[in-house]
Amino acid sequence: MILADIGLGEILWTTLVIFFMVMYFMILFSILGDLFRDHETSGWAKAAWVIFLLIFPFLTALIYLIARGGGMAKRNLAAQADAQRQFNDYVQSVASSGSPAEQIAQAQQLLQSGAINQAEFDRLKAKALG
């Protein structure tokens, strides 16, 4: 039987190797995603990073994380904030229904109830009119 030939040490070693391989690929994909998300880095610099990642993968990944690690978090947060803003704009555009007259009437009711001020009413009116 094939299972009788496999020892516990081999199973643990294989598990450890697979764990580190998956961890390395996660780091590699996060580096590549960050690299191509960064609009301030030139195309030549991106190409150089990719070439070095192919030639010296572990050393280049370590250098990238040390040199640009802090910026990775900032770029990731900026991308998430941008995605959230786009989602909110989409939901707001889909949710705003009715004719411009109905939207202005709703805004007028909000103004009379005190929920919004005159500046917000003017902004909603301008948005409803196009």
| pLDDT reported for residue 35 | 92
| pLDDT reported for residue 70 | 86
Please give the structure tokens belonging to residue 4.
């009788």
pTM: 0.59
Domain boundaries, the chain: 3-95, 98-130
In 3-state terms the chain splits into helix, strand, coil percentages (rounded to 5) of: 85, 0, 15
Higher per-residue pLDDT: 67 or 6: 67
| pLDDT reported for residue 97 | 64
Q: Are 98 and 115 in contact (CB under 8 A)?
A: no
Q: Are 127 and 104 in contact (CB under 8 A)?
A: no
Q: What's the pLDDT band for 31 if we cut at 50, 70, 90? A: very high
Please give the structure tokens belonging to residue 99.
């004719």
- Residue 40 has phi, psi (to 5 degrees) of -85, -20
Alpha carbons within 13 A on the beta-carbon side of 42:
3
Higher per-residue pLDDT: 3 or 46: 46
- At 46-84, the pLDDT tens digits run 999 999 999 999 999 999 999 998 888 898 898 899 999
